[in-house]
Structure 1
Amino acid sequence: MGKRISMYFLFIMLMLSSATPTVSSEAGDDLSLADVGLRLVSMRNDTGLDTNDDGQADAFRVVVVLNATTEMADVNMVLIASTGPRTIEQWVNTSIEGQENFSITIESWEVGQYSMTLQMYDPQSMSMLVNLDLGSYWFEPALSLPTLRLSLSAPAYLQTGDSCQVTRVFSDEVGFRYGMMGSRTFTGAPFQVFESDEVLDCGNWPAGAYSLSESYQNGLGQTSEVELSFSIHNRPAPAFDLSIVGDGDETGTTCSVTLQPQSTTESLSSHNRVWEVIPNQMIGNVSSIDCSQWPPGIHKVVVTVTNSEEISTTRGLNIVRLPPLVSEENQTENTTVWPTRSLGSEVAQNHNGWYAIGGASLVVFLLTLLMTKRDEDAEGGNDDGQNHPSPEEILLGDGLGYVPPILAEPDAEGLPTFTDEEGITWRRHDDGQVDWWDYQKLLWVRFE
């Protein structure tokens, strides 16, 4: 009831003063609403508006009814709200025909005491026609103040190449409502950041400690600032082992080489895997290779794994593949495919080595005998002047089948053997160990 009485009292005062409301114009003339063809019919103030339904008054509205006493009249109206340090003006510039209603609203932008003033101007001379003090009111903010927020979406322990995003959140209802938007300043990123960048991809940022900071100030001087700190660690080189199945087994049996990550959290499938095999084998970007059909021999396998940060690790090993064991009746049909290989306990021991030793002993004995006889002939003066063959010629031509020891086949001592493409003879022990025959030293050498 008290507010209604004050409104009626204000209305009566306006009606009394509207007959001759005068102020001093810039030209020194006194002007009123009547001088520009207008009459104030009524005015109402709404001071208890709650626009966000929080139970607190946060907006002020004035409703003005004007009547044109001429065919058309122009007027500029402004509602001024001031908290002391900050002032907002809401303008309505219009032309009036007949009678029209006007509503001007100001929403509070901060907590405090607001002084409200209504002014009207002649648009031709900008002379003030009306200057009314509408009182002071306490308002809670109806509009949200400038707000900045930075949020990080990334693993707890962030490494280079990990999925990483920084989301920027910004709002300023006050600046937007009154056309006083300010500018944002962003620092701390390794690359330039624009105001339109709402999400920053930090997955490709280099390793380092980052302190991101963003600040903002609108036209009313209201500010907001936020900071975000985090670290990106260098991703280590790929850590893996080589798991081998079938080393030292026969060709045609199960054989594989597989990459095994040392950490259960690391996957090698997204890395680049380059295999090098000697003798050459065509292998793609895979984590496991099949060596079951590789030919007999020693195969060198080297793999290099490179992650997205171009950090690589290289591992290597040797694989020994033996020719398959075949029965005696099937050996003939496989001689064109596999090198000749003994069948161990299934066949008699290879005696070629013993034959060679026996033959060599016989040769030495014959040479000694011949040289002794030759010396005796020389002492007896039986030289008839004819050319006699040398002991070597006698041995090579007497049909004894002499073969130099270096060409003799090595004794495998009953163990399985095979000869690879390079002519090297191999034998395998029962425990899987492999020897190769050194033709210069004429002995078996353990393969390490």
Structure 2
Amino acid sequence: MRTRFLVGITMLIMLASPITQGASQNSEVSLTLTANELRDSDGDSRNDTVRIVATVESSTTTIVHISLLSESSSDELIMTRIVQSTLEPSIVAFNVTAWADGAYSFTLIASTPGGEEFQRIDLGARSLSQGFIGPEATMRLVGQQTVWKGETCSIEMSILDDIAERYDLLTSVRLTGHPFPVDLHHGKHDVDCSNWPQGTYTLSLTVTNSLGAEASTSLEVSILQPLPPSGVVTVSGNNTDSGESCLVQFEMDEGPVVSDTTIIFSTPYGTVRDTLFVDCTDWDPGAHLVKIQLTDVNGRTSLIPAHVIRHVPGLVIKDDTGWVNRSQAAAFTPEAADPAIWAPLVVGGGVLFILALVITLRVRAPRRSDSDLLLDDQTPPGDPYAEVEKDDHGQWWQRHSDGRIEWWDAITNTWEPWDTL
């Protein structure tokens, strides 16, 4: 008996289901217009907005899509509300503000969720003035108008579209003339142009929404390439005895990006970074090459050489010439009681002895053939830009523009660095 009762109930449920579904599909939906008003939304005494109110009801509970179609010229805007319609009327309201001056026509449409239209109400045409500001596009170079490569560079871009925000429309943003990709959308942006290559860029920014409203602007940006870093080297105490005060100083030339320049001193005694001077007081006698490497923020590098000449203590130099005077050096008699003086003179005396030995060997050397013989009054061949002089002992000396001094070895017929004596 119990089994027969359950089967009967199941059959009743199966028969009742298609009846309920059919009632939903065939239920009557009624869409009624209740208001169609003109309004002034911005207070300029001109009508720019239409308020449309409608009610919807149906014999059974069902989902209905109520849409308002607004048309102006070739532009079309559709606003949709999803309503659960019942026997009780449901209110649907739309506010449409004009996006341009002109005539607008409005249509209410009721449709199923699947898009099947079952009712349409023509609301006629209205003449409206523009109530929304259309798309706006602006660009502005922040800071100095002259931009040097390596400096901070920023372009402020503003993309505003009240119409797109109000109606949730897509806004198309197009930027041309830039060297690297830039992601832009509605709002304000700061575009970094610090790493742009040297050149002149004509930027064009265009903003368009799906209603056809458009705005554009342009901006020219010139990125200039600064000169490579440079400066002046001053050697205080050059051509003085080793142990006397000596300083190699560097002064950077003015420039737009000098503040971030890396400075490296390379000396015979090592490398020093991020300094503007090195102390050469205790450098050994001889000609020393100092290289100052400059690297700016753009990676451009300059190499500035300087020569520092340190003498053997006690070696006298001709006044205002920088030439070695060996006769004065030989006549120089220091105070033997002071070790700080006579100790360096031992080295100086050794140098003079070697020089005398070289000259003696030159005098005693067997006479060379005419092709190898260099007459005493003939200047040895050398650097055409160097200054050449013969001292009181007949020794030839050569001084280059950078301060290096060489002596003529008559045995090998070559110029030898003075610091090898």
Q: Structure 1-normalised TM-score?
A: 0.60
The reply on whether 1:187 has 2:176 as its aligned counterpart is yes
Partner residue in 2 for 1:309: 298
Partner residue in 2 for 1:242: 233
2:248 to 254, 257, 263: 257
Partner residue in 1 for 2:129: 139
CA radius of gyration, larger in: 1
| CA deviation string 1:177-210 (max 9, x = no partner) | 3344143332222233344694433222222222
Partner residue in 2 for 1:429: none
Q: 8 Å contact 2:199–2:224 — kept in the other structure?
A: yes
CA distance in 1, matches of 2:357, 2:109: 128
2:70 to 81, 89, 108: 81
2:164 to 163, 175, 194: 175
Write 1 or 2 for the structure with the bigger share of strand: 2
The reply on whether 1:59 has 2:66 as its aligned counterpart is no
Q: How does 1:39-438 map to 2 (within 5 A)?
A: 40=32, 43-50=34-41, 52=42, 56-68=46-58, 70-97=59-86, 98-121=88-111, 126-133=116-123, 135-142=125-132, 144-153=133-142, 155-195=144-184, 198-263=189-254, 265-266=255-256, 268-278=258-268, 280-322=269-311, 328=335, 330-332=337-339, 335=342, 338-340=344-346, 406=359
3-state SS, counterpart of residue 300 of structure 1: strand
Equivalent AA in structure 1 for residue 291 of structure 2:
V
> Cα RMSD (Å) of the superposition?
4.2
| CA deviation string 1:100-149 (max 9, x = no partner) | 3221221221122323333444668945435142551323222x312222
Equivalent AA in structure 1 for residue 335 of structure 2:
E
CA distance in 2, matches of 1:83, 1:39: 24
Unaligned runs of 5+ in 1: 1-33, 343-349, 354-402, 409-434
CA distance in 2, matches of 1:332, 1:250: 16
How much does 1:242 deviate?
0.9
**Judging changes above 3 Å, is the alpha-carbon distance between structure 1 residues 186 and 286 closer, same or farther for their aligned structure 2 residues?**
same
| CA deviation string 1:299-326 (max 9, x = no partner) | 3323232323343333223223356689
Q: 8 Å contact 1:83–1:112 — kept in the other structure?
A: yes
CA distance in 1, matches of 2:138, 2:158: 5
**Judging changes above 3 Å, is the alpha-carbon distance between structure 1 residues 115 and 444 closer, same or farther for their aligned structure 2 residues?**
closer
3-state SS, counterpart of residue 328 of structure 1: coil
**Judging changes above 3 Å, is the alpha-carbon distance between structure 1 residues 282 and 233 closer, same or farther for their aligned structure 2 residues?**
closer
Q: Structure 2-normalised TM-score?
A: 0.63
Q: 8 Å contact 2:109–2:119 — kept in the other structure?
A: yes
Q: 8 Å contact 2:31–2:110 — kept in the other structure?
A: no
Equivalent AA in structure 2 for residue 289 of structure 1:
V
Give the paired residue count.
Answer: 325
Q: 8 Å contact 1:114–1:139 — kept in the other structure?
A: no
Unaligned runs of 5+ in 2: 1-25, 315-332, 362-387, 406-421
**Judging changes above 3 Å, is the alpha-carbon distance between structure 1 residues 211 and 445 closer, same or farther for their aligned structure 2 residues?**
closer
| CA deviation string 1:45-80 (max 9, x = no partner) | 342141x55665432222234455x34255432223
Equivalent AA in structure 1 for residue 197 of structure 2:
P
**Judging changes above 3 Å, is the alpha-carbon distance between structure 1 residues 438 and 67 closer, same or farther for their aligned structure 2 residues?**
same
CA distance in 2, matches of 1:125, 1:444: 104
